């Protein structure tokens, strides 16, 4: 393994954290459609600013059928630039990890060239050709990941690059499909998958990072269950946000609109695909469907809290793992407090962004422990 691989992996992980938190800020500040085109913003590599003549801003708004909001556009386009920088970091990791594989460098470079060539084609309106090139690049990376072992992290590095490419596609569809909820939720999950894969690579590449415990198999099983529950809860959180259901119960907690079990439309709440061409900004569901989404998010939160709190107690009682148990318990309590504050105070931006960051922090602790725990030889 390249001697600086772990440093690059940790740097990419830190940047992924920034991208996730800043992405939450963009989404929650209603700036997700502030750049109506992709990957440019009103035709620019940067973004319109207040320094531009008013006539130019009005012309750009007419050309793209959306008024220019300079105070929001910079958020969306800066997020794209940060994500692109992260993509270059992941590409460097994939190249380093694949250099000892037969045709490894050729596979990574070839896939990247295909994806890069798809972008100008898309901008020129050749959407089918662009999709075919991007899909072929993805296929090359997935096949390479399946063929390679993970002893030198080449498999997970190729897989992470494939996820990054798919994330770019989801980012494009978020704009072109007008904040379609399934795409918005998928974009969130893809970002956290990248975050988790980078944490895995960083720990594995760091010498002496393994935690040797006799009861590691039992702890890993409990953590795996916790990871599944946490991913489900994060997905529900993304679905809640994408459907503008965070305040479906008003500012009531633990009741919802003054009731313990309010009227809710569970069937309509979880229809994942509703076609293309609908503007989802502001949400399209009625109140009962949004209530169902909010209630599901609260109920699964109870499961996650109960299970991970039990895991935290188990970790706290295990010699050598007490700091991890303490961290997990503190993050759990903080996350619940942030969730309640979101409802009680009417979804203040700072609290809502912190709630997203808290989910990422919990995910990091669980993934780190799953990666590092090992039984004695």
Active site includes 58? Answer: no
Query: Helix/strand/coil (H, E, C) string of 99-141?
Result: CCCCCHHHHHHHHHHHHHHHHHHHHCCCHHHHHHHHHHHHHHH
Structure tokens at 347: 């979804």
> What are the beta bridge partners of residue 41?
44
How many Cβ atoms sit within 10 Å of the Cβ of residue 334?
Answer: 15
Q: Kindly state the DSSP code that residue 259 receives in the 8-state scheme.
A: B
CA dist 208 → 15, 143, 204, 329, 372 (Å):
24, 31, 9, 25, 10
Q: Residue 159, exposed/middle/buried by CB under 10 A (0-12, 13-18, 19+)?
A: buried
The residue count for the chain: 377
Q: Residue 91, exposed/middle/buried by CB under 10 A (0-12, 13-18, 19+)?
A: buried
Which residue reads 């946000």 in tokens?
A: 241
d(CA 193, CA 232): 13
d(CA 172, CA 103): 31
> What are the beta bridge partners of residue 212?
374
Tell which residue, 236, 239, 267, 264, has the closest CA to residue 249. Answer: 264
Q: Which of 58, 59, 69, 76 is catalytic?
A: 76
DSSP 3-state percent helix, strand, coil across the chain (nearest 5): 70, 0, 30
- Residue 196's SS3 state is helix
Known catalytic residues?
A: 76
């Amino acid at each position: 393994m390249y001697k600086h691989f772990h440093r690059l992996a940790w740097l990419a992980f830190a940047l992924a954290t920034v991208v996730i938190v800043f992405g939450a800020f963009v989404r929650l500040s209603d700036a997700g459609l502030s750049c109506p085109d992709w990957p440019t913003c009103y035709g620019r590599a940067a973004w319109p600013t207040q320094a531009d003549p008013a006539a130019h801003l009005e012309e750009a708004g007419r050309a793209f059928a959306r008024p220019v909001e300079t105070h929001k556009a910079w958020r969306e386009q800066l997020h794209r630039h940060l994500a692109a920088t992260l993509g270059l970091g992941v590409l460097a990791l994939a190249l380093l990890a694949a250099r000892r594989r037969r045709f490894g460098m050729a596979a990574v470079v070839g896939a990247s060239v295909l994806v890069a060539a798809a972008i100008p084609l898309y901008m020129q309106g050749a959407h089918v050709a662009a999709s075919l090139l991007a899909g072929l690049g993805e296929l090359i990376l997935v096949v390479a990941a399946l063929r390679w072992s993970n002893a030198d992290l080449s498999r997970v590095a190729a897989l992470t690059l494939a996820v990054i490419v798919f994330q770019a596609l989801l980012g494009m569809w978020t704009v072109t499909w007008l904040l379609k909820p399934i795409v918005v939720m998928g974009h969130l999950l893809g970002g956290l998958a990248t975050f988790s894969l980078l944490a895995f690579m960083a720990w594995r590449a760091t010498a002496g990072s393994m935690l040797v415990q006799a009861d590691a198999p039992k702890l890993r099983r409990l953590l795996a269950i916790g990871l599944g529950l946490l991913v489900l809860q994060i997905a529900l959180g993304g679905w809640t946000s994408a459907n503008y259901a965070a305040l479906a119960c008003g500012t009531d907690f633990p009741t919802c609109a003054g009731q313990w079990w309010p009227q809710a439309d569970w069937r309509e709440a979880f229809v994942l695909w509703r076609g293309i061409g609908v503007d989802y900004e502001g949400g399209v569901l009625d109140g009962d469907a949004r209530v169902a989404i909010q209630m599901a998010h609260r109920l699964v939160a109870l499961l996650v809290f109960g299970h991970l709190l039990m895991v935290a107690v188990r970790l706290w009682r295990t010699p050598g793992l007490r700091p991890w148990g303490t961290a997990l318990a503190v993050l759990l309590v903080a996350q619940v407090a942030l969730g309640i504050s979101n409802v009680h105070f009417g979804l203040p931006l700072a609290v809502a962004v912190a709630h997203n960051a808290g989910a990422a922090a919990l995910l990091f602790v669980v993934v780190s422990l799953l990666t590092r725990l090992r039984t004695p030889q």
